[in-house]
DNA sequence: TTGTAAGCGTTATCAT
DNA sequence: ATGATAACGCTTACAA
């Protein structure tokens, strides 16, 4: 900038203003400044600007794991909105570890991010690491894995009602002994899903046995192991409602290994609408969990607050939808109805990003 | 820092040094400074430090799409290495658009990133937007989708030999009329895969018909459409080698809709070892493409160069492996061999991240 | 071992 | 419409 100013015989102030289209600078001056800047390949130093303005035009994101379909779609949504609004995105993953989340929070804070989007680690139960942000009025938005212990903006889905609906669907499909493969109980999304499941059973007067419920980390192995345990029960379930698609799909595959027909003998419903849900045969009935929409909503919420266009705390609830596919609907035994023999069912339209 | 200095009756210099564990500061002083800093919740302002040191401890990443299994795993690898080395990660997606890639490059440059990791957009054919980095000695590393037109560090796989191997495997399995569903020809990874495919056919004296080759964006729809076109040929193929798993899996599903048996009538091989490859039945034979390893290698390369521990240009080639599953191996017709009836094959171990 | 002071590249304030 | 100057918060010669 000094260079530009000298060459043009004006002050750095003028250059700075011209580059920012400040109203008090003449057309001619602006044009000449911009022209020379272009020619010399001048690139504004955002560090210095950030330091002076105390605004970095950067938002921080902390997620449990980047490499999950749900999370990466969410990040993608965040990135789009943020970039349109002129923000860069600083990303970090906690690997579901509390310690890492704390470290990242502190590092992002001292990077002077203008705002923070968080989806909590599975482990996290203490939230003091977010205090610096709250104390210094740096906006925070929590997405999906949130906590009621912090008064911040949130973007969530109605896990209770989604789970309730999913379970009722199984009941309506004729299943009676329904198991639930759930996640860590202190993470409210899993707690809510379990509650919704229990509420549906109760409404219809069905058994709610502890033995029919597993609490795991919802990994591949956990899916196989939980299914094994459930099917080894003296009185095994005739349906499984899993808190994510990963475990649901593993259930289907494992049941098939056991020679058990899905959905004829055991029905399965998942959660998330991951790509795999339309690849597995039979296609998995699941709950759409619009990750990109959630990311977009969170980023918008954050940007609006940073730009001062919004005050106060709000929680946005994104709509989900039960997507009924073949893993939970018994085929008709009426020979009059036409079967789909030869035709494998597919439902490519509804699935989340899959490329 | 001023505050700390005053309270302790020392200079800011001392505080700054104490916080950085500078050797010329006494143990006692260091301790007291650190203690008070903790108590007052002091957080170093990395902007100011970056401005002064001309090092932001941030690396920029530009990828085509965040929400793809391959890319998100790669990012995850980058993030891990970068964070261990004390760098933050600024992420942006080009959406496979040239214009966006250019914008992001410029924005990252003026954010003063210490280095850049890029995987090129499908569209990109001009590379001038990376000149600012190269001209000012900001290290650049390209991963996977690279170009020979830029002299920078690279992390790639041997696409030619992987494709060659995959095609030879199909030939060894008894397929003779092998089609290829490939990607944009100006992106060298797809060009190399096609070359490998052709070379294998030629080596074994098989036909290499243009009609058996499709060039698409390798999306779900492209997978279905290409398969339709191939199978409508007067003389359709008896095997398909696809340049990614997305299209390969769609091929399998579509062939099954047509009532065609995979692998008995048509064999299919994919590329990437995405999660879906072990969900589809029959499990997909594919090429492992260790995304996280590539991300890790790229980040290490970059960090080493930033830290001045390495000079000159180098290309790292990550090993891939042909993972033979059921989609490409005809079942024995010899009744003496035991069939796997009732037992659905699974190969959970080898697949890329899937949670 | 510690302190003084300059300076990183901008932008904001106040003047002209 | 433009300019001089201070300041953002930190690091680092150089001095003591």
Q: What is the dihedral sign for C-alpha A236, A284, A220, A184?
A: negative
pLDDT at B6: 86
B283, B326 contact by CB (below 8 A): yes
B96, B63 contact by CB (below 8 A): no
Nearest-angstrom CA–CA distance, B227 and B248? 9
pLDDT at A286 > cutoff 60: yes
Instruction: Tell me the average pLDDT across A62-86.
Output: 96
Task: Please say whether the structural domain B159-289+322-351 has been given the CATH code 3.90.50.10.
Answer: no
pLDDT at A41: 86
Q: What is the dihedral of CA A281, A282, A287, A292, to 10 degrees?
A: 30
Nearest-angstrom CA–CA distance, B131 and B115? 13
End-to-end CA distance of chain A: 45
Residues of B in contact with A345 (CB under 8 A): none
pLDDT at B355: 45
> If you count them, how many residues does chain A have?
355
Q: In chain A, what percentage of residues exceed pLDDT 90?
A: 77
Instruction: Tell me the average pLDDT across A67-88.
Output: 96
B73–A111 C-beta distance less than 8 A: no
| CA A336 vs CA A227, A262, A268, A339, A342: distances in Å | 34, 22, 26, 9, 17
Q: What is the dihedral sign for C-alpha A65, A66, A67, A68?
A: positive
- Find, in chain B, the residue whose alpha carbon is nearest to that of A343: B257
pLDDT at B349: 54
Residues 6+ apart with CB under 8 A from B282: B252, B262, B263, B325, B326, B327, B345
Residue B93 DSSP class:
E
A71, A291 contact by CB (below 8 A): yes
B41 C-beta neighbours (distance < 10 Å), count: 10
- Provide the edge-to-edge strand list for the sheet that holds B88-93: A315-318, A153-157, A140-143, A115-118, A58-63, A88-93, B88-93, B58-63, B115-118, B140-143, B153-157, B315-318
CA nearest to B129, candidates B145, B144, B118: B118
Nearest-angstrom CA–CA distance, B96 and B100? 8
B residues 108-147 near A, CB within 8 Å? Answer: 108-112, 132
pLDDT at A102 > cutoff 90: yes
Nearest-angstrom CA–CA distance, B97 and B124? 7
Q: Quick check: helix, strand or coil at residue B96?
A: coil
CATH T-level topology, domain A55-157+291-318 = Rossmann fold (3.40.50)
- E strand intervals along B57-196: 58-63, 88-93, 115-118, 140-143, 153-157, 178-182
The whole-chain average pLDDT of chain A stands at: 92
Burial class of residue B285, CB neighbours in 10 A (0-12, 13-18, 19+): buried
pLDDT at B342: 40
Phi-psi region of B54 (alpha: psi -120 to 50; beta: other; left: phi over 0): left
Q: What is the dihedral sign for C-alpha A95, A97, A99, A104?
A: positive
Query: Identical fold at A55-157+291-318 and A159-289+322-351?
Result: yes
Nearest-angstrom CA–CA distance, A295 and A155? 8
Burial class of residue B338, CB neighbours in 10 A (0-12, 13-18, 19+): exposed
A50–B47 C-beta distance less than 8 A: yes
pLDDT at A91 > cutoff 60: yes
Phi-psi region of B312 (alpha: psi -120 to 50; beta: other; left: phi over 0): left
| Domain coordinates in residue numbering, chain A | 2-44, 55-157+291-318, 159-289+322-351
Alpha helices in chain A (DSSP H): 2-8, 12-19, 27-39, 46-53, 69-84, 98-110, 131-135, 159-172, 188-203, 220-231, 245-257, 291-306
Nearest-angstrom CA–CA distance, B177 and B175? 6
> Which of A61-75, A313-327, B19-33 bottoms out in mean pLDDT, i.e. has the lowest?
B19-33
B252, B220 contact by CB (below 8 A): no
A355 touches chain B (CB under 8 A): yes
- The residues pairing with B323 across neighbouring beta strands, listed in sequence order, are B286
Instruction: Tell me the average pLDDT across A233-239.
Output: 97
pLDDT at B350: 57
Choose the mutation target among B41, B42, B47, B54 for the interface with A, i.e. most A CBs under 10 Å. Answer: B47
Instruction: Tell me the average pLDDT across A219-236.
Output: 96
Q: Is the CB of A49 under 7 A from strand C?
A: yes
A residues 217-256 near B, CB within 8 Å? Answer: 218-220, 224, 246, 249, 253, 256
A99 touches chain B (CB under 8 A): no
What long-range pairs does B172-176 form, CB within 8 A, spacing at least 24? B173/B239, B173/B263, B173/B267, B173/B328, B173/B329, B173/B330, B174/B330, B175/B238, B175/B239, B175/B267, B175/B328, B176/B206, B176/B238, B176/B239
pLDDT at B2: 87
Nearest-angstrom CA–CA distance, B246 and B261? 19
Where residue A341 falls among pLDDT bands split at 50, 70, 90?
A: very low
**Strand C nucleotides where any atom sits below 7 Å of a protein CB:** 1-5, 7-13
Q: Helices H, strands E: what count in chain A?
A: 12, 12
Q: How far is B1 from chain A (nearest CA, A)?
A: 14
Q: Quick check: helix, strand or coil at residue B309?
A: coil
Nearest-angstrom CA–CA distance, A46 and A56? 8
CA nearest to B90, candidates B100, B102, B105: B105
pLDDT at A293: 97
pLDDT at A43: 87
Q: How far is A207 from chain B (nearest CA, A)?
A: 30
Question: What are the 10-residue block averages of pLDDT along chain B, 355 residues in total?
Answer: 87 90 88 89 89 92 96 97 95 96 93 95 94 93 96 97 98 97 93 97 95 94 96 97 97 96 97 95 96 97 93 95 96 53 52 49
Residue A161 DSSP class:
H
List the structure tokens of B56.
Answer: 């932001």
pLDDT at A336 > cutoff 80: no
pTM: 0.90
Whose structure tokens read 């040239």? B98
pLDDT at A347 > cutoff 50: yes
**Strand D nucleotides where any atom sits below 7 Å of a protein CB:** 1-5, 7-13
Secondary structure, 3-state, A243-285: CCHHHHHHHHHHHHHCCCCCCCCCEEECCECCHHHHCCCCCCE
pLDDT at A150 > cutoff 80: yes
List the structure tokens of B45.
Answer: 């302002």
pLDDT at B345: 55
pLDDT at A121: 94
A212, A179 contact by CB (below 8 A): yes
Q: Quick check: helix, strand or coil at residue A331?
A: coil
């Amino acid at each position: 900038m000094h260079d530009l100013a000298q060459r043009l015989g004006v002050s750095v102030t003028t250059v700075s203003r011209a580059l920012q289209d400040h109203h008090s600078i003449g057309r001619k001056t602006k044009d000449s400044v911009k022209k020379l800047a272009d020619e010399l390949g001048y690139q504004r130093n955002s560090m210095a600007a950030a330091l002076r303005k105390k605004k970095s035009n950067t938002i921080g994101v902390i997620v449990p794991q980047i490499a999950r379909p749900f999370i990466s779609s969410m990040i993608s949504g965040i990135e789009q909105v943020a970039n349109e609004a002129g923000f860069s995105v600083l990303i970090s993953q906690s690997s579901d570890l509390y310690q890492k989340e704390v470290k990242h929070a502190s590092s992002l804070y001292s990077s002077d991010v203008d705002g923070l989007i968080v989806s909590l680690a599975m482990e996290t139960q203490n939230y003091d690491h977010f205090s610096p942000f709250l104390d210094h009025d740096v906006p925070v938005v929590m997405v999906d894995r949130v906590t009621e212990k912090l008064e911040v903006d949130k973007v969530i889905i109605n896990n209770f009602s989604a789970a309730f609906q999913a379970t009722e669907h199984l009941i309506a499909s004729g299943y009676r002994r329904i198991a639930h493969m759930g996640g860590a109980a202190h993470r409210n999304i899993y707690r809510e899903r379990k509650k919704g499941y229990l509420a549906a059973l109760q409404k219809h007067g069905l058994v709610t046995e502890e033995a029919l419920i597993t609490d795991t980390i919802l990994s591949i192995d956990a899916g196989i192991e939980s299914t094994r345990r459930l099917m080894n029960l003296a009185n095994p379930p005739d349906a499984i409602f899993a808190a994510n698609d990963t475990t649901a799909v593993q259930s289907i595959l494992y049941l098939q290994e056991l020679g058990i027909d899905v959905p004829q003998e055991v029905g399965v419903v998942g959660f998330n609408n991951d790509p795999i849900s339309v690849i597995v045969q039979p296609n998995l009935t699941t709950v759409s969990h619009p990750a990109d929409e959630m990311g977009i909503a969170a980023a918008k919420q954050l940007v609006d607050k940073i730009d001062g266009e919004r005050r106060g705390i709000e929680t946005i609830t994104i709509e989900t939808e039960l997507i009924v596919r073949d893993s939970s609907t018994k085929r008709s035994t009426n020979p009059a109805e036409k079967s789909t023999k030869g035709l494998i069912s597919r439902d490519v339209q509804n699935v989340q990003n899959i490329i």
